[in-house]
A and B are shown apart, each in its own frame.
Chain A
C-alpha cells in the first residue's frame, strides 16, 4: 500500500479521499467495528466555514478575518497563526468539496439559527456524514479495514517503513509508503486522563466514542513526535449524571443552568450561572464541575423555566418543595433551602427576563453573583438535574507543519508521517471552543495530509 490512514472519522476519511484522488493506493484502518465507525464525527452536526457570499451550506457572508477574530478570541491568541490562516482560507472551498463527496446540506435548526451564517449543517448530522464519506472512499477503491488498532510505527531514520496494528488479538505489520494519523484524541482512556486529573477522571462521562484511547497518538510520541498542548486540556460540558459512561453524544447535555442555579454536593452555589451566552456558557461548566468534590453538581430551577431550554434525554427530577427536591437529589435539605432563599432574596427587583440576551435580571450582594437571568426560584414544582463533567475531546496532540507533516522533538519533519484532525487540532485550537471548527480543521488538514502523503509516495 502507498498510504495507510490510521483512524476512521472525518479527518481520516477526508485524507483517504484526497490521497486516493491524487492517485495513491490507500488502506484505512478503523479501530471500531463498522456499526460504530467514524470516531467522534458521529456526534457532530455542523462545520464552520468562511465564505464571502451565501452558498449551499451557509447564509450571508463570513469573512476570513471575522473567523480569525473569533478564533483568536476563544484561544486568547494562542494559535499557530500561519496554520490558522491556512485552515480558514481553505475552509472557503469546503462547502463545494463536501458536496462533491456526496454530502447534502440542510437548513439550520430552530435552536441553532444563530449559527446559520457561520456554520454549514450537513443533512442528518455526523453519522450521516461519516456514512456518506465511507460510501465515497469505497467507491474510489480505498480498502477499509475495521476492528484494527494501530499500535506502533516501524521507523528507519525519519521515515516510517510499516504500521504495526492489532487485529483479532494478533499483532501484525503493514508496509506502506506514507502514514496519516487521524485517530482522534485520548479522552476515552480514563487511566491516561487520571495521569493529569487524578481520580476525578473516574467520574467523567466521555461523550464520544469509547475507541478514542489515543493508541495512535501514543505511537506517534514513541516514534519521537513533538507534543503540543496542555495535557490537562479538555473540552468538557455539564452532562446528566445518568448519562452512559461513553457515547452519550449530544442528548445528555444540560443547558438549564443559566435558567436557575447550580449547586455542588454541599448544596452551595459555586459560580456565576449568568455569566455569558450560549455557547460559551455551556462550555465552561464541565471543567467547573470537574474541580468540585466528587465531580458532582446539580442544576436547580422551577416551573417557570420549563420549555426555555432544549430538553435533554432524561427528564429532570421533580418535587413540590425545595426540601423535597433536596431529598430526591440526595442533598442536605437545610443547605439547599438556605442557598435558594439567599439567592431569591438577593435578586434585584424590576428586571426584565430575556433569555436570548444579557438581560438586567441579576443578584446583588452575593459573594458569587448571578449576573443575568436571575429570577426567584419560587414556583413549584421544583426541578433538578444531577450533573457530571462530560468530556468532548482532548487538546493534547502533535505538532505539524503546513503540509500536515508531523514534526519531531528536534523540530524536524518526518519524511512520510502526516497527521490530521483531533490529534493535531491543538496547533490551531489550543484551548477554548468554536462550534464546528474542529471539523473544519479535520477536513482541511485531512485533505492536505492526503495530498501530501500521495505526493510523497509518487516522488
Chain B
C-alpha cells in the first residue's frame, strides 16, 4: 500500500488531468484516468506502470510548478513505480535492494566476479586463469559445464518464482473489482503495444531528450530489448549446437551463436549507452531520483555483461580468456541474482498494466 498522503496527492494531481484531458494523445495513462472518478491505491499502482516515462505530458502541462496546481505526473508515476517494484517483491529482505540500487547492483556484481574468479582459481588452479585455451571445450577447461549450467538454472528459476509471485499480487491489486482482465484479446493487444513500444512514441513526438521529444529513446530501448533477445537466442542456439549436434564451443565467428550473440551484445552496448546519455542530458524535474538511480544501475549492469561478453570474444584465443570468462560469468550471475530486485521487473508490471489497459479500452 502507498502512504495515504501519497495516494491522496496522486488523486489530487490526476483530478487536474481528468478536468483538462489535453494530454490524452500522448499515451494510455490519460485515457485510463478519464475512466476513474477518483484515484485509489490500486489505480495508482496500475497507472504508474502504464506510464512509460516519456515525460511529454510534463512539457505540455500548463499546471506544472510553480503553478499552484503543482502537477508533475511523470515524477509522481516514477515514484509510484519504485514503490510498486518493492511492494510486490519477495523475500522482503532482498526487496530492500531496491532502496540502494547502485550499491546493491554494484556490490553484487563485484562480489559475483570475485567469487567466480576465486572458485576458478581454487577449483581449476590459477593456471586456468592465465594460460591460452583453444579448441573444442576450451571454456569448460576454465569453468566446467555443470558449474555454468546449474547456477544459471537455479538462479533463473528463483528469479522467475519471485517475478511470478509479484505478477500475481500486482494483477490482483489492480483488478479493482471489475473482474478479470486477462483474455486472448487483451493479451495480444498488450503484446503488440509492448513489442512496438507504442507509448514511447509520445503520440508522435517521441520521448524526452535534451529539448522536447525525439525518437531516440524508443530507438535505444528497441536496441536493448532486441539485443537481450538476440543474446538469449544465441544461448539457445549454442545449446542446440552442443547438446543436439555435438559441437563444443568456442564456435567460429560466423557461426549462428557467435554472430547472433555479437550482434545482440553490440546492440545492448549502444542501446544502454544511448539510454544513459538521454537520462544524463534530460531535465531531472519530471522524474524521481530513486527511479533514475535504479535505471542507471540496471543499464550499467547490462553494459557490464555485454562488454565483458564482447571482450571475451575478442580475446578468447589469448591468455586473458580465463580471467575474462570468470568476469563475464560473474557479471551474468549478478544479472540473474539482481534481476527481480531492479529495473528488470518493469517488464512484468508494465506488461500487466498494458493487458489491463487493453481490456479497459476494449470494454470502454
Q: Is the A/B pair a real complex?
A: yes
Q: Which residues of A contact B (CB under 8 A)?
A: 35, 42-43, 45, 104, 106-107, 109-111, 121, 123-128, 131-132, 135, 244, 247, 249-253, 306-307, 310-313, 315
Q: Are B204 and A247 in contact (CB under 8 A)?
A: no
One digit per residue, 1 when the CB lies within 8 angstroms of any chain A CB and 0 when it does not, for chain B 49-82 equals 0000000110111110011110000000000000
Number of A-B contacts (CB under 8 A): 85
CA separation between A42 and B20, bound complex, in Å?
A: 12
Q: Are B34 and A110 in contact (CB under 8 A)?
A: yes
Contact of A124 among B18, B56, B69, B211 (CB under 8 A): B56
User: 8 A-B residue contacts at CB 8 Å?
Assistant: A43-B62, A106-B203, A111-B21, A123-B25, A123-B203, A124-B205, A126-B22, A127-B59
Q: Are A311 and B15 in contact (CB under 8 A)?
A: yes
Q: Are B37 and A307 in contact (CB under 8 A)?
A: yes
7 more CB-based (< 8 A) A-B contacts, given A128-B59, A310-B19: A104-B205, A106-B204, A124-B23, A128-B60, A135-B212, A249-B20, A250-B22
CA separation between A45 and B21, bound complex, in Å?
A: 10
Q: Are B211 and A247 in contact (CB under 8 A)?
A: no
In the complex, whether B16 has a CB less than 8 A from a CB of chain A is yes
Q: A124-B56, A312-B19 are in contact. Are A251 and B63 (CB under 8 A)?
A: yes
Q: Are B25 and A107 in contact (CB under 8 A)?
A: yes
Chain B residues lying within 8 Å of A306, measured Cβ to Cβ, are: 37
Chain B residues lying within 8 Å of A35, measured Cβ to Cβ, are: 66
Q: A123-B205, A124-B57, A135-B212 are in contact. Are A251 and B19 (CB under 8 A)?
A: yes
Closest Cβ neighbor of A247 among chain B residues: B67
In the complex, whether B41 has a CB less than 8 A from a CB of chain A is no
CA separation between A251 and B60, bound complex, in Å?
A: 15
In the complex, whether B24 has a CB less than 8 A from a CB of chain A is yes
Q: Which residues of B contact A (CB under 8 A)?
A: 15-16, 18-26, 34, 37, 56-57, 59-63, 66-69, 203-205, 211-212
Q: A107-B25, A311-B18 are in contact. Are A251 and B59 (CB under 8 A)?
A: no
CA separation between A126 and B21, bound complex, in Å?
A: 12
Chain A residues lying within 8 Å of B60, measured Cβ to Cβ, are: 124-125, 127-128, 131
The 10 closest A-B pairs by CB, nearest first: A106-B25, A125-B22, A124-B60, A251-B19, A128-B60, A104-B204, A313-B19, A123-B25, A251-B20, A42-B62
CA separation between A107 and B26, bound complex, in Å?
A: 11
Closest Cβ neighbor of B61 among chain A residues: A127
Q: A131-B212, A244-B68 are in contact. Are A250 and B19 (CB under 8 A)?
A: yes
Chain A residues lying within 8 Å of B23, measured Cβ to Cβ, are: 124-125
Interchain nearest-CB distance for A48 vs B (Å):
17
CA separation between A313 and B203, bound complex, in Å?
A: 25
CA separation between A250 and B69, bound complex, in Å?
A: 12
Q: Are A124 and B203 in contact (CB under 8 A)?
A: yes
CA separation between A125 and B24, bound complex, in Å?
A: 9
Closest Cβ neighbor of A45 among chain B residues: B22
Chain A residues lying within 8 Å of B56, measured Cβ to Cβ, are: 124, 128
Interchain nearest-CB distance for A147 vs B (Å):
15
Instruction: Output the residue of B22, B23, B63 with the most chain A CB within 10 A.
Output: B22
Chain A residues lying within 8 Å of B68, measured Cβ to Cβ, are: 244
Closest Cβ neighbor of B68 among chain A residues: A244
Contact of A251 among B16, B25, B57, B205 (CB under 8 A): B16
Interchain nearest-CB distance for A435 vs B (Å):
14
Q: A110-B34, A131-B59 are in contact. Are A123 and B26 (CB under 8 A)?
A: yes
Chain B residues lying within 8 Å of A250, measured Cβ to Cβ, are: 19-20, 22
Closest Cβ neighbor of B66 among chain A residues: A35
Q: Are A121 and B19 in contact (CB under 8 A)?
A: no
CA separation between A128 and B34, bound complex, in Å?
A: 21
Q: Are A104 and B203 in contact (CB under 8 A)?
A: yes
CA separation between A249 and B205, bound complex, in Å?
A: 24
Chain A residues lying within 8 Å of B205, measured Cβ to Cβ, are: 104, 123-124, 128
Q: Are B37 and A123 in contact (CB under 8 A)?
A: no
CA separation between A441 and B18, bound complex, in Å?
A: 29
CA separation between A312 and B21, bound complex, in Å?
A: 11
Interchain nearest-CB distance for B363 vs A (Å):
14
Q: Are B204 and A313 in contact (CB under 8 A)?
A: no
Contact of B211 among A43, A135, A252, A312 (CB under 8 A): A135
Chain A residues lying within 8 Å of B203, measured Cβ to Cβ, are: 104, 106, 123-124
Closest Cβ neighbor of B205 among chain A residues: A104
CA separation between A42 and B61, bound complex, in Å?
A: 9
Closest Cβ neighbor of B59 among chain A residues: A131
CA separation between A409 and B80, bound complex, in Å?
A: 61
Chain B residues lying within 8 Å of A126, measured Cβ to Cβ, are: 22, 62
Chain A residues lying within 8 Å of B26, measured Cβ to Cβ, are: 123-124
CA separation between A274 and B69, bound complex, in Å?
A: 32
Q: Are B19 and A311 in contact (CB under 8 A)?
A: yes
Instruction: Output the residue of A123, A131, A307 with the most chain B CB within 10 A.
Output: A123
CA separation between A131 and B211, bound complex, in Å?
A: 10
CA separation between A247 and B64, bound complex, in Å?
A: 12
Chain A residues lying within 8 Å of B18, measured Cβ to Cβ, are: 311
Chain A residues lying within 8 Å of B61, measured Cβ to Cβ, are: 127
Q: Are B37 and A311 in contact (CB under 8 A)?
A: yes
CA separation between A121 and B25, bound complex, in Å?
A: 9
Q: Are B212 and A123 in contact (CB under 8 A)?
A: no
Chain B residues lying within 8 Å of A42, measured Cβ to Cβ, are: 62
CA separation between A121 and B204, bound complex, in Å?
A: 13
Interchain nearest-CB distance for B20 vs A (Å):
5
Q: Are B204 and A123 in contact (CB under 8 A)?
A: yes
CA separation between A211 and B57, bound complex, in Å?
A: 24
Interchain nearest-CB distance for B150 vs A (Å):
52
Closest Cβ neighbor of B31 among chain A residues: A110
Contact of A313 among B16, B34, B57 (CB under 8 A): B16
Interchain nearest-CB distance for B60 vs A (Å):
4
Q: Are B15 and A313 in contact (CB under 8 A)?
A: yes
Chain B residues lying within 8 Å of A312, measured Cβ to Cβ, are: 19
Chain B residues lying within 8 Å of A251, measured Cβ to Cβ, are: 16, 19-20, 63, 69
CA separation between A251 and B16, bound complex, in Å?
A: 6
Chain B residues lying within 8 Å of A45, measured Cβ to Cβ, are: 22
Interchain nearest-CB distance for B71 vs A (Å):
9
CA separation between A248 and B203, bound complex, in Å?
A: 26
Chain B residues lying within 8 Å of A253, measured Cβ to Cβ, are: 19
Q: A43-B62, A104-B203, A247-B62 are in contact. Are A109 and B19 (CB under 8 A)?
A: no
Chain B residues lying within 8 Å of A127, measured Cβ to Cβ, are: 59-62
Instruction: Output the residue of A124, A126, A250 with the most chain B CB within 10 A.
Output: A124
Interchain nearest-CB distance for A309 vs B (Å):
11
Closest Cβ neighbor of B26 among chain A residues: A124
